[in-house]
């Protein structure tokens, strides 16, 4: 009986293998990659200013640390730092538009707007992987006044170019959903991740 149980247990897929989309035999390798990239991230972070850079992202599959960069002319300067240079082969600098400074400033303005208007059923977060602010609109029951408030909030917040995601929206806000249909299609498979893993600046 014990032998059968052990055989079944061994046959189960490792949780990390499922997460990374790999075979069980590669889990230890990927764990080593992750630990190394965390160390690389900790090393480079102190040298990344908020005006010229955004967030970093561990890409375990490619064994690289993605560094979202606004000003690419700063890259040689960063790589010239002795502590960072030793990890150059693990670094992947990608050009983006929004710096951390800009995202934090825009986030604060969007939050102030939410406090003033009090729209019902929303979540606002900075999401580094998309280098943008995410506003998630939950599909909850709203009265006519709440829908008007939400519509006004979305239109005003749109000046900061956030990603606006409607979760299972089927009410009178469909006209606004259409404005963001292309974004929703692109992001629809990551809605759960966006809801469960928000990064909110302190």
**Model confidence pLDDT, tens digit, residues 43-75:** 999 999 999 999 898 998 899 999 999 999 999
pLDDT confidence of 13, banded at 50, 70, 90? low
Q: What number of other Cβ atoms are within 10 A of residue 144's Cβ?
A: 8
Q: Which two tokens stand for residue 71?
A: 């000003």
157 and 142 both lie in a single domain: yes
108 and 83 both lie in a single domain: no
181 and 111 both lie in a single domain: yes
Q: Of 64, 95, 126, which marks where a domain is finished?
A: 95
What is the domain range of residue 46? 15-95
For the segment 34-40, the average pLDDT, to the nearest whole number, is 95
Assess contact for 69 and 52: CB atoms under 8 A: yes
110 and 70 both lie in a single domain: no
pLDDT of 199 strictly over 50: no
112 and 38 both lie in a single domain: no
pLDDT confidence of 91, banded at 50, 70, 90? very high
Its pTM stands at 0.65
Distance CA 191, CA 185 (A): 10
112 and 180 both lie in a single domain: yes
DSSP conformational letter for 199:
B
Distance CA 14, CA 193 (A): 20
Q: Of 68, 95, 122, which marks where a domain is finished?
A: 95
pLDDT of 196 strictly over 60: no
75 and 124 both lie in a single domain: no
Q: Residue 162: what are its φ and ψ, rounded to 5°?
A: -75, 165
69 and 140 both lie in a single domain: no
Mean residue pLDDT of the chain comes to 79
Domain count, the chain: 2
Q: Of 66, 95, 124, which marks where a domain is finished?
A: 95
For strand 64-69 and strand 91-95, is the pairing parallel, antiparallel, or unpaired? parallel
Q: What number of other Cβ atoms are within 10 A of residue 119's Cβ?
A: 22
For the segment 20-41, the average pLDDT, to the nearest whole number, is 86
Distance CA 113, CA 108 (A): 9
């Amino acid at each position: 009986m014990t032998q059968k149980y052990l055989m079944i247990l061994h046959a189960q897929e490792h949780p990390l293998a499922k997460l990374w989309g790999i075979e069980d035999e590669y889990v230890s390798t990927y764990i080593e990659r992750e630990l190394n990239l965390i160390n690389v991230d900790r090393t480079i972070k102190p040298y990344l200013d908020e005006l010229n850079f955004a967030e970093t992202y561990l890409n375990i599959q490619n064994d690289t640390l993605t560094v979202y960069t606004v000003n690419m002319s700063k890259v040689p300067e960063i790589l010239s730092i002795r502590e960072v240079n030793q990890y150059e082969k693990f670094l992947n600098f990608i050009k983006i538009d929004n710096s951390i400074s800009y995202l934090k400033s825009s986030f604060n303005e969007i939050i102030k707007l939410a406090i003033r208007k009090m729209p019902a059923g929303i979540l606002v977060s900075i999401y580094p992987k998309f280098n943008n602010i995410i506003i998630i609109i939950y599909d909850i029951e709203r009265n006519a006044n709440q829908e008007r408030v939400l519509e006004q909030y979305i239109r005003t917040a749109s000046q900061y170019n956030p990603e606006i995601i409607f979760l299972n929206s089927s009410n009178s806000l469909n006209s606004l959903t259409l404005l963001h249909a292309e974004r929703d299609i692109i992001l629809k498979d990551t809605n759960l991740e966006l809801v469960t893993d928000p990064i909110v600046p302190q």
